[in-house]
Structure 1
Amino acid sequence: MCGIAGYFGPDAISPDRLQATLTAMHHRGPDGSGQASLAVGDNHLHLLHTRLAIIDPEARSDQPFDADDCLLVFNGEIYNFVELREELAQLGHQFETTGDTEVIIKAYRAWGLDCISRFEGMFAFAIFDRQEHCLILARDGFGEKPLFIHQDGRGLYFASEIKLLRQMGVQAGDINQDRMERFLIHGYRALNGRADSFYENITPFPPGHHARLSSPADYQPRSYWQLTHDPQPMNWMEAVEGTKHHLKNAIKLRLRADTNVAITLSGGIDSNVLAAIAAHEFDQTIHSFSMLEAEIGYNEEPLINRAVEALQCDHHIMRVHGHDFMDRLARIVHQQDAPVPTIAMYLDAWLAESVSEAGYKVALNGMGSDELFSGYYDHYLYYLAGFDGTPAYEEKVSEWRASMGQWIRNPLLKDPHRFSREPGFRDHLYLSMPDIGEFTCRPPGAYGLERDYSRDLLRNRMLNELHHEAVPVYLLAGDHNWMAQSVESRSAYLDRDLARFLYSVPSELLFRDGRAKALLREAGRGLVPPEILDMSRKVGFNARITSLLYRDNPDVVERLMSDTPVFDILRRDRIEQLMKPDTPLEGYDNFLFAFASAQLFYLNEA
């Protein structure tokens, strides 16, 4: 895991700017830095890199890495580099290092651009091919590793973070008010409906794409991979065995590191199955970290204590408080170059600080499990809609009422017939709260950017969450959270073979006995305590806004009510009412956090 930046165009960047960019990248790679500048015809190419040494930490793997007439800067990990290295060695390739960096160049020389689809990992990289006089840019299929782009009509700039582009001299432009409005009115799920950022002149390089440039004008990313729904005939036992096989392999690959690996442990199924397989199948010593909220309904301490007892792990606990909420949030906003999307990602950044302070450089998380195994409360209702009109429908509804249905707080999801009657209903997803119209300066427009990936109602919803609504938002925030602390965060479930298999499983096998994540539960059977594995309530790191935001502190209120363009979107009088200590905030947690996050972005980053 590292930081990369570069420029390809006619205007050379000054040495002072290049050094300033490397300095700004230090948090992403404190173990080394390097740069290369060369002429490519009438253009200049600059490649910059800072290194967080995880695999083959010796200087021989420092970057920019120069071999086989290729120059490489690379951020991320190629988890299957061992298998690829063996395959390449059989083709006659020789290696000078033991890590994954050199494997990228050898694979490119062996298979050209087709090598990228062979990489199982998280990555964003740039290769300059001296033989073909071209620059290759690529990003992993799920978008775990970020890459931002700026084009000024002459040259192409790219970097792991927006602030690095600005250090290179990029004029990022004004704050993108359209994106801010989507965020505040429709919530974080609306952020990636368009390929933009919170700055007008910056765009993301799309996940699962590569680009080949002989000149800066050639920039045109092309897709090399995207997960699709491809159901295949199989029974329950075949689905279980396939899940276990692919899940174990995914975790095995992501445990590869020349340093200790930490695990973020909640009271939920995802992290517990991950930790249990690592411990029992691969004899991994578990170093776990948890964030605890005392508020009833969010307190996971009994479940986490049971997990720690079962795992016999080295466990670290952080407890939620709001004593330095505003300063910490402002710091995280700066790290993100954007408002922090959710309370959960605020806590994620806090957790990253603790993992780093304890001396760890790698941490595993359960990101993506809900979108692969089907874990959200509304997923079961989409599943129920598929049985409408069949003899099994009422039985399935009864199972839901006795299980997941009893835990639902969102009033829009309490009706089990919701999607049977209204298959296109999405207000529970695309409004930050039901009465948002009372808080906006003008009536909120409809948000209708759900894309068609599958005719299956459930799978189409899951693929929207996986491709642009949920997972990419969390991945970007997570990358910036953890790299700000010089820690590599690995998403164990975001494995392409596992994902392909799960999207070939018949949808009805994703649920059992009124509960979601049936296949993941079965994969953890005998490894995870049953009181965790069989729980129907969804849990995970989260907190009430009242545990963080102290409205009885006049300094906090004054800071948040500062005059900024946020009040071109939201009504000041309604926000003032929410900021009064005696105003109930039930149902307003996410909205008020989004407001606070956006306000600090305007105050500190504009």
Structure 2
Amino acid sequence: MCGIAGAINAELTKESLNLIKHRGPDFQYFVVENMGGNSVYLGHTRLSILDLSPTGNQPMKSSCGQYTLIFNGEIYNHLELRKKLTSVDFKGTSDTETILYYLMKFGIDSVRDFNGIFALALLDKKEEKMYLARDMFGVKPLYYYQKGKTLLFASELKIIKENPAYEKAIDLDALNTFLAFRYNPAPKTIFKGIKKLEAASYLVLDNNLNSTQIDFWPRKQKINHNISEAEAVDQYSFLFEQAIKRQALSDVPIGVLLSGGLDSAMVAHMLAKHTDKQLKTFTVGFQGKGNFNELDDARETAKFIKSDHYDIFMNIEQFLETFSMSYYHTEEPIAAATIPPLYHVSKLAHEHVKVVMSGQGADEPMAGYKRYRGEKIIGDYGKILNMLPLNAIQKLFPANIALERGIYSSRFKNEVDRFVAIFSLFTPELKQKLFKPEIATIAFSEQRELFDKILANSDPKANSLNRLLYLDTRSLLPDSLLLFNDKITMAHSIENRVPFLDMDLVAFIESLPVKYKLNGKITKYVQRKAAAKFLPGNIINRKKKAFETPIGIWFKQELGNTLIELIEKPNSLSREYFNLAFIKNMIDLHKNKKRDYEKHLFILLSLEYWYQNFYSENFSDVVLENANYISR
């Protein structure tokens, strides 16, 4: 796992590459090439995991000198791919060397054969072309900015943002989208002109920097209604174990980020089965009770699988301080309360391992969240729900924002419009009140357009819940959850592998009827049946907690005052774009329990922390402050 950066007709320096040194502390280097008269800088920072020798260093050139590759990620089936390259005299055993020669032989479209996680850039000097590619589910990030005949690209935004060739500005359309979704679906970013390369796609640029984007895995979803429950459980069991065995490939020890839930317990048990050393597991707990602390559950799981277990506590002060500082690493204003605990558990894991596996990616394909039950209810009883007056619901249940959103979304007959409504926290009506008048009148792009392209490859005959799962797996997952999981773990030079997103496993899950995912009130139905073969019932049937924090309570106390202080600063983002009086009114309504604005206020807090800790004009000070914080 590493970091990549490049530039065409702009300069990439050693100092700029150092901005992502945390992604690859073992080796950093860049080369300058030529592509049809264009200067090309290609840089790489290496975290050595496969083939620890210098033969795995990058940028890597082909023996003929025509191709240069920089690559971030792991290709779990690279040994299988090598079998097709019998004429190549390999110098080492790295997956980088494998895919360099594989792409040479079979062309850029052969990235569809890679079972793994990756972001890469390949320069073909003879054909005068540059290729950028990103993995199937967007586990590894890749950003790019193009203006005329200048191109910048990198694993992290900070390299592009700080390059003199980029003129920094906020994209108001992306700001509008963030207020609704709490993240920006690809290709959007909140930085004007900077795009995320979409998952499962590659970009082709010629020597005039004309670009073409191609989706390399537009495989149509097709539901198999004939599979029996027993067949589904057996096939799931086989594919899950195969995914663990594939991703256990490493020349350094692997640990597991262990929560108290089912997903990471399955990963830990199966990895322990397929490793010859005692597995190390890591957990973070919040200093509180009930839903705010999973340490006891995680310890129980660790005891069952006989792992070498480590855990750490985090208090309120650490949570808030880390939350503020974390935006230097996430780089995008993602509103997720799980970021601070991930930061601390990654820091703990860094002391013991270079690679971890986690349970990330299990919920979206397999209907693991409570809100999926809501979509099923809407699908089954939408006509009845549509008869309920929304104003009456608001008065009867003023603090139940989830119920209100569900009723609100049921009003939309069009499926995609309903999905947008389900995602949206700041509704169009709320945003009209939040934005300053001169911004509220801007004609923003239709947010449904971001989802139409994804859903075009889902099964049109599938249940609406199955289509929502398909959408979440290709939007919420890569552009929010996986994004901050990569950034935060890599901030501590840790590679995070996600076996639940194995290509073969997800393809199989997405072929299953809804009843094998959400069966009555039982979420992840087939997964639980498969887990019952090797985990006890007390682990399988634990109530899903995730990592909950008392954010709603804090906003009724000191955090509400903190937000007011932030928005009232002379240089705040809110002062420039929002109606401050409306935000203060939201805080008052929340404090007085007249409305549940926890998630809305958390979005605004996220924006202000991001603005100060990443967008800031004093970025050099932020870099130094972050270096001091992470070294504590």
TM-score category, normalised to shorter length: 0.7 to 0.9
The Cα of 1:584 is off from its aligned counterpart by 5.0
**Cα gap change, 1:545/1:385 in structure 2, threshold over 3 Å: closer, same or farther?**
closer
Q: How far apart in 2 are the matches of 1:38 and 1:447?
A: 40
Q: How far apart in 2 are the matches of 1:143 and 1:369?
A: 15
**Cα gap change, 1:420/1:45 in structure 2, threshold over 3 Å: closer, same or farther?**
closer
Q: How far apart in 2 are the matches of 1:414 and 1:6?
A: 44
Q: How far apart in 1 are the matches of 2:562 and 2:569?
A: 11
Q: How far apart in 1 are the matches of 2:209 and 2:413?
A: 50
Is the CA contact 1:375–1:517 (under 8 Å) kept in the aligned structure 2?
A: yes
Q: How far apart in 1 are the matches of 2:412 and 2:506?
A: 27
1:39 aligns with 2:45: no
The Cα of 1:116 is off from its aligned counterpart by 0.6
Q: How far apart in 1 are the matches of 2:119 and 2:314?
A: 34
1:459 is aligned to 466
Is the CA contact 2:434–2:583 (under 8 Å) kept in the aligned structure 1?
A: no
1:602 is aligned to 611
The Cα of 1:418 is off from its aligned counterpart by 6.4
Residue deviations 1:417-470 (CA, integer Å, cap 9, x gap): 969999664544312589956962468999545433333201211111111134
Is the CA contact 1:577–1:583 (under 8 Å) kept in the aligned structure 2?
A: no
Is the CA contact 1:265–1:289 (under 8 Å) kept in the aligned structure 2?
A: yes
Is the CA contact 1:148–1:202 (under 8 Å) kept in the aligned structure 2?
A: yes
Residue identity opposite 2:610 in structure 1? F
Q: How far apart in 1 are the matches of 2:499 and 2:549?
A: 24
TM-score by length of 1: 0.86
Residue deviations 1:50-82 (CA, integer Å, cap 9, x gap): 101111111111111122332111111111112
2:135 is aligned to 140
Residue identity opposite 1:19 in structure 2? K
1:399 is aligned to none
1:196 aligns with 2:196: no
Give 1:51's match in structure 2, choosing from 46, 65, 71: 46
The residue correspondences of 1:570-581 to structure 2 (distance < 5 A) are 570-576=578-584
The residue correspondences of 1:152-191 to structure 2 (distance < 5 A) are 152-184=147-179, 186-188=180-182, 191=184
1:340 is aligned to 334
1:274 is aligned to 267
**Cα gap change, 1:40/1:217 in structure 2, threshold over 3 Å: closer, same or farther?**
closer
2:84 is aligned to 87
Q: How far apart in 1 are the matches of 2:493 and 2:554?
A: 25
Deviates further, 501-510 or 43-52:
501-510
Q: How far apart in 2 are the matches of 1:363 and 1:454?
A: 34
2:534 is aligned to 527
The Cα of 1:533 is off from its aligned counterpart by 0.8
Q: How far apart in 1 are the matches of 2:61 and 2:431?
A: 56
- For CA contacts below 8 A with separation 6 or more, give which structure has more relative contact order: 1
**Cα gap change, 1:120/1:74 in structure 2, threshold over 3 Å: closer, same or farther?**
same
1:5 aligns with 2:5: yes
**Cα gap change, 1:413/1:182 in structure 2, threshold over 3 Å: closer, same or farther?**
closer
The Cα of 1:384 is off from its aligned counterpart by 5.3
Q: How far apart in 2 are the matches of 1:303 and 1:54?
A: 31
Secondary structure, in 3 states, of the residue corresponding to 1:363?
A: strand
Is the CA contact 2:243–2:505 (under 8 Å) kept in the aligned structure 1?
A: yes
1:375 aligns with 2:373: no
Residue identity opposite 1:24 in structure 2? L
Q: How far apart in 1 are the matches of 2:448 and 2:131?
A: 34
Q: How far apart in 1 are the matches of 2:24 and 2:94?
A: 16
Deviates further, 162-171 or 593-602:
162-171
Deviates further, 464-473 or 434-443:
434-443
Is the CA contact 1:439–1:574 (under 8 Å) kept in the aligned structure 2?
A: yes
The Cα of 1:478 is off from its aligned counterpart by 1.5
TM-score by length of 2: 0.83
1:539 aligns with 2:539: no
Residue identity opposite 1:558 in structure 2? E
Number of residue pairs the alignment of both structures matches? 575
Residue deviations 1:350-405 (CA, integer Å, cap 9, x gap): 3222222x23211111221111212122323444566679xxxxxxxxxxxxxxxx
Residue deviations 1:563-587 (CA, integer Å, cap 9, x gap): 4232455442344456679655984
1:593 aligns with 2:602: yes
Give 1:72's match in structure 2, choosing from 56, 69, 74: 69
**Cα gap change, 1:166/1:318 in structure 2, threshold over 3 Å: closer, same or farther?**
same
Is the CA contact 1:364–1:490 (under 8 Å) kept in the aligned structure 2?
A: yes
**Cα gap change, 1:409/1:280 in structure 2, threshold over 3 Å: closer, same or farther?**
farther
Residue identity opposite 2:322 in structure 1? R
1:506 is aligned to 513
1:96 aligns with 2:91: yes
Give 2:294's match in structure 1, choosing from 297, 300, 303: 300
Q: How far apart in 1 are the matches of 2:31 and 2:84?
A: 30
2:308 is aligned to 314
1:395 is aligned to none
Deviates further, 491-500 or 298-307:
298-307
**Cα gap change, 1:329/1:318 in structure 2, threshold over 3 Å: closer, same or farther?**
same
Residue identity opposite 1:141 in structure 2? M
Is the CA contact 1:65–1:71 (under 8 Å) kept in the aligned structure 2?
A: yes
Deviates further, 468-477 or 456-465:
468-477
Is the CA contact 2:567–2:580 (under 8 Å) kept in the aligned structure 1?
A: no
Residue identity opposite 1:354 in structure 2? L
Q: How far apart in 1 are the matches of 2:70 and 2:500?
A: 26
1:351 aligns with 2:345: yes
Q: How far apart in 1 are the matches of 2:245 and 2:554?
A: 37
Is the CA contact 1:345–1:474 (under 8 Å) kept in the aligned structure 2?
A: no
1:566 aligns with 2:562: no
Q: How far apart in 1 are the matches of 2:336 and 2:20?
A: 25
Is the CA contact 2:257–2:357 (under 8 Å) kept in the aligned structure 1?
A: yes
**Cα gap change, 1:34/1:471 in structure 2, threshold over 3 Å: closer, same or farther?**
closer
The Cα of 1:260 is off from its aligned counterpart by 1.4
1:241 is aligned to 234
2:493 is aligned to 486
Q: How far apart in 1 are the matches of 2:148 and 2:113?
A: 34
Residue identity opposite 2:84 in structure 1? E
The residue correspondences of 1:433-444 to structure 2 (distance < 5 A) are 436=430, 440-441=434-435
**Cα gap change, 1:243/1:298 in structure 2, threshold over 3 Å: closer, same or farther?**
same
Identity of aligned residues (%): 25
